[in-house]
A and B are shown apart, each in its own frame.
Chain A
């Protein structure tokens, strides 16, 4: 089954404790992206990657890091989480030439206290 998986689905952590949210897709997609969803703001892009070792900032990259060492994986790293990063995070993937047609993971709800 074609899918995007994220782990963990739920995470409660404390300010400053480094964490990683994993994302993996099994569709051989070149493009992968991370979004955060906040009430009234829709989805805002954090980082995206057009292919292995190619990443770029989205609209709200501050406080986040990503890496793309393998085509299928695109982890999101919060080196020093803060309460304003409490949000619902989605990973998505697509073919490089069909960025409008993205497949989304189930989401990771992160709470930073």
Chain B
């Protein structure tokens, strides 16, 4: 079984400052990794994913995440946040061998961007 730990439940940040959201996972098998974003009063949306290949993956709105196998981490970063990045962010994992799967979510990190 796999598990996901998001180390910060809430991250306050000023507009145009950088932000990092930490995610660690545990699994006995290889995994795929995802970040989802939930804007206020909306459902979740896929932000970015790591399946294979380059360990650094990017989203269209400036976020990036790096897969670190030795540290079993998949931290999310953005060099300069906007007010519109205020949302809850969820890290998630699924087993690569489990196409019948299950997507295991972390508890979420609430990002609040202030002017």
Contact = CB atoms under 8 A, between A and B. Distances in A.
Interface of A: 4, 33, 35, 40-45, 48, 50, 58, 90, 92, 96-97, 99-102, 104-107
A110 B60 CA distance: 34
Given A40-B9, A42-B90, A43-B90, A100 B32 contact: yes
Contact of B43 (A41, A99, A105): A105
A40 B6 CA distance: 11
Nearest to B101: A99
Contacts of A104: 43-45
A73 B102 CA distance: 19
A18 to B, nearest CB: 25
Pick from A40, A96, A101 the residue with the most CB of B within 10 Å. A101
A41 B90 CA distance: 11
B107 interface: yes
Interface residues of B, number: 25
Contacts of A48: 102
Interface stretch (B13-21, B62-70, B77-85, B92-100): B92-100
A42 B108 contact: yes
A106 B107 contact: no
27 contacts: A41-B107, A42-B6, A42-B106, A42-B107, A43-B44, A43-B90, A43-B105, A44-B105, A45-B102, A45-B103, A50-B100, A90-B44, A92-B43, A99-B94, A99-B98, A99-B99, A99-B101, A99-B102, A100-B32, A100-B92, A100-B94, A100-B101, A100-B103, A101-B34, A102-B46, A102-B103, A106-B41
B42 interface: yes
A56 B56 CA distance: 34
Contact of B107 (A4, A40, A97, A101): A40
B3 to A, nearest CB: 11
A99 B107 CA distance: 19
Contact of A100 (B34, B45, B100): B34
A35 B103 CA distance: 11
